[in-house]
Structure 1
Amino acid sequence: MPRHKETVKSLQVMKIQTDQVRLGMYISELDLPWLETPFLFQGFMLEDPDDLMTLRGLCRYVFIDVMKTRIPVTELEQLPVASKPIAYPVSSDVQAEIHSASRHYGKAFRHVRVLLERIRTGEENSLDEVPELVRGCVESIIRNPSALLWLTRIKHRDQYTAEHCMNVGVLAMALGRQLGIGRKHIELLGLCGMLHDVGKMRLDQDILNKPGRLTAEEFDHVKLHVDFGHEELSQDPDLPEEVLKVVLQHHERLDGNGYPKGIPAQGLDFYTRAITIVDAYDAITSRRCYSSARSSADALKILYEGRGAQFDEKLVIKFIECIGLYPPGALVELSSGEVGVVLAVDPQHRLLPKVAIVRDAQKQPIQQQIVDLAANRSEDGAPDLRVRQVLVDGSHGIDLEAFTQANINLSGR
């Protein structure tokens, strides 16, 4: 490039911290690839507070086009650094939030189940209510993600596809909250998640639910669900293009070894990268007709080992932070041998959650005892109890659904 063009570009483009970004700026370049963000256009006028929040959540700095920016150059030269509070502070505890979360989850789940059944039977369906149902879940996620994440752990094998769609939507929204992106982008992640697998209802259900290993021909048939889903949802002219992309591409991989088209990383957008991760997590932690459920810890390990090849590395790390080592609702074995359900985790003591102990060291049922591992310490300050391992949901006959219904208003000591 000729030197005078370089000079013009350097005068026109300014690099600033995202804490200094303001509405009215023209964003011309980011500190990460555009495909790793939810922004559709590579260069845009910043007019939406949600987009401003998203920039601050995902990027450390950006480049603005001074000539296109509406803020005078004299002001740009003395931009103050904005305070950067936590994007979404927790505003309710899990025991209080689970009432609202359960209501929103149930309403959305029932709608998803009806939608899938209509697709299976070839009936006409409508997606008009889905965005509003997603918004209700987003409000709960914003207040405290632990409540809805807890509900994603309650699973039934005979409702796998509907629950999986619902849970992937919830997990995707929780990831969006962790990233600090704006609500409209969190809502779009939820919509992508809830609809990503609708094409499975047009498959041969005997093949889809086959308990044994699929033949090559049967697996080729299962792969068609992405095309079927895309065809089904393309009939709705109001559905965002990002959702259609996710439906078609959520089994693609960054290394190009996915399906249906083997699209490599440079062709996969932010929403697809995010849904791929949460889709795998929920599948691994669920009982399916052909495989047993694995623990949350195992699932996060698999995601971490697949980062860079199958999954987006930055999003995997953020998802691990979002779920945590001991997520609410997880079954854990303590150093004493006792078994309990994680109720809540203090961000200051992530390895020492509050636990409802329901099995003794011999794994026999006992009267429930709630213990805050962070608060119970010996004279030298060391914790009396620690988590020894995370167990698979349902271990030792512990029914999380029954536990939740019986303990909506848990209080600790």
Structure 2
Amino acid sequence: DILSRPTFTVGDIEDTVNEVFLSVRKKGDDAVKEYTEKFDRVSLASPLVGEKEIGEAEQAIDEGLKRAIGRAYDNIYKFHEAQKTPPVKVETSPGVVCWQQKRPIQKVGLYIPGGTAPLFSTILMLAIPAKIAGCDEIVLCSPPDKNGNLPPVVLYTASLCGIDKIYKVGGIQAVAAMTFGTPTIPRVYKIFGPGNQYVTVAKQLATKYGVAIDMPAGPSELLVMADDSALPSFVAADLLSQAEHGTDSQVVLVTTSRSLLTKVEEEVTSQLDALPRKEIARKAIGNSRLIYMSDRDAAIDLINTYGPEHYILCTDDEEYYLEKTANAGSVFIGNYTPESAGDYASGTNHTLPTNGYARQYSGVNLDSFTKSITFQKISEEGIMDLGETIEIMAEAEGLQAHRNAVTLRKELLKQKLQKGE
């Protein structure tokens, strides 16, 4: 119960998601338009963003914000560019050469949440590795505001990243449109990006129609592990930075210090009142936990069981916790490493597994936009050397055609050898 998340079960919302999917599959753009009117309360002649809108957006952006986005772009690019790996090539036995190369996913869709906090930073996190990977087609969807527009900063950031297929479509209908394709919105092979619980379920449903997803990424969460070496005001600020994401966010403090727990609780109350989004944060705090653990072994067991999306570690014995950390989306270490650094500009990716999925999923990285293809080439010498092994194994499985595919080759080579060819 202590580690439960404030999330709906899939069954609570899958009927709505299924209805939208089936409608978009059948009616295409008309269904997308209808659901945009229903959910976003705006009617659009076309969801496609034109060049004029992008140009106007660039003019509307403050130069200071442009510089900040540019610096974040550079750091994120550096970190993801460094993730490139060379092909792996091995001669596994004489005359048998195997290698693996990464190739880009040709068509990808990026979902950028809107609502109360349009996350233009997520564009950097998704578009930059997609471009580095070499994806041919990048489609971006984000929900319009009540006037039928996307925030200028969203358009500016998308343009900076080289994206020209930008659509004013959000929620379930955006995921459905990228899953099936419509006359206006292209079908993609993999969908990326966080969203609310409806978007999360929509992405999971997309996998039933042959579209891959980055991960089931739902409401944001943060776990802080701290002891008396942590500054209570910093810990409280970090907890609140996640709590303000949405009312269904969750923040957790785990500590081996009773005094720190009390001080952080006081700081949270004090800092909360000064926040512009205090009502959202207050509701998220209602989902949240302050947990005292008597020793560090019990604490790390609890943390690994929870599998936090974001994990801040601020303890004297950080090496112990780092060595024992098995499940986390992204880890932030020490008093001067706020989670918001990773959200924006340090270089790591902020699209991370939530709801315990850090136990089996990685956060988005360069490899998320590629797939590995294996190759092999076998010489005459190689098939003669390895052939008997294949024949024996094929026969043991009762697959005679598999055996024959090798035997015929070996017999031809034996004939050639006898003729002196």
TM-score scaled to structure 2, two decimals?
A: 0.26
Structure possessing the higher relative contact order (Cα contacts under 8 Å, 6 or more residues apart): 2
TM-score by length of 1: 0.26
Q: Which structure: larger Rg?
A: 2
Higher strand residue share: 2
